[in-house]
Amino acid sequence: MARQEEALRALKFTVLVWGPGNEPFMTKRNQIVKQLTECGFQAFTSEELARQVPSTLPLPLQEGQHWRLVDLVIVLEAGVAPAMELASFAHDAEFCQKCIVFHPRDWDPSLQRTFPSEVLKLFANRVLYAEHEMEVCTLVAECLHRAEAMRRYRLLKESPGLMSF
């Protein structure tokens, strides 16, 4: 087990946290990035990546560059604008494979037919949350758990013998 944990910590694993730039989402995105960084991930918001990888391309093309640079994209879905961004990449298998979409519980796509809910149906890896879960940081903890699982999956894929029990 110690060897597995050491290998996990040594594995470079980058996470992009997408979501609205307004409050409370920006604060929550920053909390998620901070928690991930403290746990050994290289984590960024899209604003941070835009500063590190400057570009004159239109924003959608920049976002495409950004998600391709990372191992995992955590999306805090919160409206029509984020749904439009997701929709532009929803038919890319690589994006869907590395994307976890967190969205409000009341947007359950099985219960309605709106643009955001129809986009959400395209993603296999969705996590529903209630407003109070965002306020009490349950959402931050769940993002960390999901990132840890994805990092473990990658190590298992790259070094299957290392992860055996």
Q: What is the pLDDT of residues 1-41, one digit of tens each?
A: 677 778 877 889 999 998 888 888 888 899 999 999 999 99
Residue 42 has pLDDT above 80, yes or no: yes
Q: Quick one: which of 107, 41, 106 has its CA closest to 74?
A: 41
Dist CA 75 CA 86 (whole Å): 9
| Candidate from 2-6, 70-74, 151-155 with smallest mean pLDDT | 2-6
Q: Tens of pLDDT along 99-135?
A: 999 888 776 666 677 777 777 778 888 888 887 877 7
Domain span at residue 122? 2-163
- With tokens 């149906």, the residue in question is 121
Cα of 46 vs its chain's centroid, Å: 11
CATH number at residue 112: 3.40.50.10140
The percent of residues in the chain predicted with pLDDT above 70, rounded, is 90
* C-alpha pair distances (Å), 149 with each of 92, 108, 146, 154: 22, 24, 5, 9
CB 96 within 8 A of CB 122: yes
What is the count of structural domains for the chain?
1
